[in-house]
Amino acid sequence: MARYNSKNGNFLVATLQPKTLPSYEENLNYLITYIQNSNAQLIVAPELCLTNFDYEHFEQVAKFYSVALERLLEVVGKKILVLTMTRKSGGDFFNEALVLYNHQVIHRQAKHKLFKLGNEENYFRVGERSAIVPFEIEGVKYAILICFELRFKELWGQIEGADILLIPARWGLSRKVHLETLSRALAIMNQAFVVVSNSADDDMASSSAIISPWGEVFADDKLEVIEQRIELKEVQRVRRLIKMD
């Protein structure tokens, strides 16, 4: 039986695809302005959209975590915001995904699969694999894979059953076809909506998309924001039509 009610069964989703601005504060203001002026109920931002992988100023990046989180919690209201930020705990740094809703942090998980080609393991500590699980907001089940984690089939198994799969990413241009193929396959395999948010910097793939459980892709590399209204009954329809058990 479907778990959705009329309030959450049909809503506007936004995936952001901006270029990184020169300062952390400018990136934060960009995000806050969008939140305040958008009708989207679910907003997904690219991986480390506020600071990028600014390893040369990592202590400053980590201090900005608290500043940004406080301001985002003030403005998020009844919208759901998904992003990642660099958090320092003890002497270690984590690339942490956060889900904000109703002025609270609803879910958090640190990136478990670090990208060796980007030397991430030299700066970040590995997050707990056990944190990669579905979580629920207002009767809808969500799950997150952070960028490189999209490549790992064992992690796909951990998020089975989620209705909406969220992929905040900073995925390189040379691997653009990989991002597009894997994210579409994830939607078809899990019979779920997939929302990919990726940077539009010159060396990045863009390819932000909202993908239906049937594999239909809504994307446009020319846009800073891709918005699409989704109907969650589509998840149940596809799962009834093609039974996977």
Mind listing the pLDDT tens digit for each residue in 18-77?
Answer: 999 999 999 999 999 999 999 999 999 999 999 999 999 999 999 999 999 999 999 999
| Helix, strand, or coil (residue 67) | helix
The contacts of residue 59 (CB under 8 Å, 6+ apart) are 88
- The dihedrals phi and psi of 206, each to the nearest 5 degrees, come to 55, -120
The contacts of residue 14 (CB under 8 Å, 6+ apart) are 34, 38, 40, 42, 43, 44, 225, 226, 227
pLDDT of residue 245: 77
pLDDT of residue 8: 52
pLDDT of residue 244: 85
* pLDDT tens readout for residues 65-89: 999 999 999 999 999 999 999 999 9
- The dihedrals phi and psi of 241, each to the nearest 5 degrees, come to -70, -45
The structural domains of the chain, ordered by start, are: 11-241 (3.60.110.10)
CA 102 → CA 76, 79, 210, distances in Å?
7, 7, 23
| Helix, strand, or coil (residue 109) | strand
| Helix, strand, or coil (residue 127) | coil
Digits of tens for pLDDT over the chain (245 positions)?
344 443 457 889 999 999 999 999 999 999 999 999 999 999 999 999 999 999 999 999 999 999 999 999 999 999 999 999 999 999 999 999 999 999 999 999 999 999 999 999 999 999 999 999 999 999 999 999 999 999 999 999 999 999 999 999 999 999 999 999 999 999 999 999 999 999 999 999 999 999 999 999 999 999 999 999 999 999 999 999 999 87
pLDDT of residue 73: 98
pLDDT of residue 9: 79
Query: What is the rounded distance in angstroms from the CA atom of residue 182 to the CA atom of residue 104?
Result: 31
pLDDT of residue 5: 41
pLDDT of residue 154: 97
